[in-house]
């Protein structure tokens, strides 16, 4: 499978690139800044690109089996999320390519509270995280309005570098928590979930994952 990863230098994107290459896929890793001096791993090609350049993205996506949108705005630029995502969706739709958007937990429902978004639950979204969480709600709304072939992955409340266990629990639109009520996963295992979805797509357009 040929996969384009946009946001390949980030915490999630870099791990998706590694997981995809390890599984033997042909990966184009899109970097906004100058490519690393070290050569890419086997099966990976570095490409300089801008997530808002629809024309360049369309040409890059042409003939690709799947796109992973793993972009994340710098603090203070959360308002750009919707425009960036729409640009990626436009390019994917024109190229006829499926796109998996790695978003945020904000649009999920709180466990036991189907009437409440995670965005509005301070147990999972403290005040310092609310701006980026709100941006993810707007991001999913932009996806829902778009005709592209997309799927939206909401990570759990806590996503950080860690260990690849290869194990996780998949849910749909409610935050996944463990027996203690914690909602977390390593970026490495989130990448596993991304590749599992690309290789064996399900019918859910919005799903989440987390540890048991």
DSSP secondary-structure letter at 47? Answer: E
Q: Report which of 43, 53, 50, 39 is spatially closest to residue 19, judged by C-alpha positions.
A: 43
* Predicted pLDDT at 38: 77
Please write the tens of the pLDDT for every residue from 38-83. 788 899 999 999 999 999 999 999 999 999 999 999 999 999 999 9
pTM to 2 decimals? 0.96
Collapsed DSSP state (helix, strand, coil) of residue 8: coil
Domain ranges of the chain: 2-210
Q: Where are the beta strands (DSSP E) in the chain?
A: 2-6, 26-31, 44-48, 66-69, 98-102, 109-110, 113-117, 150-154, 158-160, 169-171, 184-186, 206-210
Please write the tens of the pLDDT for every residue from 23-33. 999 999 999 87
Q: Report which of 143, 141, 196 is spatially closest to residue 168, judged by C-alpha positions.
A: 196
* Predicted pLDDT at 202: 96
Please write the tens of the pLDDT for every residue from 124-137. 999 999 999 999 99
Q: CATH second-level architecture of 2-210?
A: 3-Layer(aba) Sandwich (3.40)
């Amino acid at each position: 499978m040929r996969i384009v990863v946009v946001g390949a230098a980030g915490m999630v994107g870099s791990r998706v690139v590694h997981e995809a290459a390890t599984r033997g896929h042909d990966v184009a890793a899109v970097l906004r800044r100058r490519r690393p001096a070290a050569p890419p791993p086997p099966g990976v090609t570095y490409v300089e690109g801008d997530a808002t350049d629809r024309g360049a993205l369309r040409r890059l996506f042409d003939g690709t089996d799947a796109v992973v949108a793993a972009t994340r705005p710098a603090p203070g630029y959360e308002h750009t999320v919707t425009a960036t995502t729409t640009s990626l969706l436009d390019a994917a739709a024109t190229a006829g390519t499926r796109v998996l958007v790695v978003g945020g937990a904000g649009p999920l429902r709180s466990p036991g509270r189907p009437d409440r978004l995670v965005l509005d639950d301070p147990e999972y979204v403290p005040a310092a995280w609310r701006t980026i969480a709100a941006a993810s709600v707007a991001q999913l709304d932009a996806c829902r309005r778009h005709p592209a072939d997309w799927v939206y992955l909401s990570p759990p409340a806590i996503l950080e570098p860690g260990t690849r266990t290869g194990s996780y629990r998949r849910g749909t639109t409610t935050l996944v928590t463990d027996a203690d009520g914690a909602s977390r996963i390593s970026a490495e295992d989130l990448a596993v979930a991304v590749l599992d979805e690309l290789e064996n797509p399900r019918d859910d357009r919005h799903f989440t994952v987390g540890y048991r």
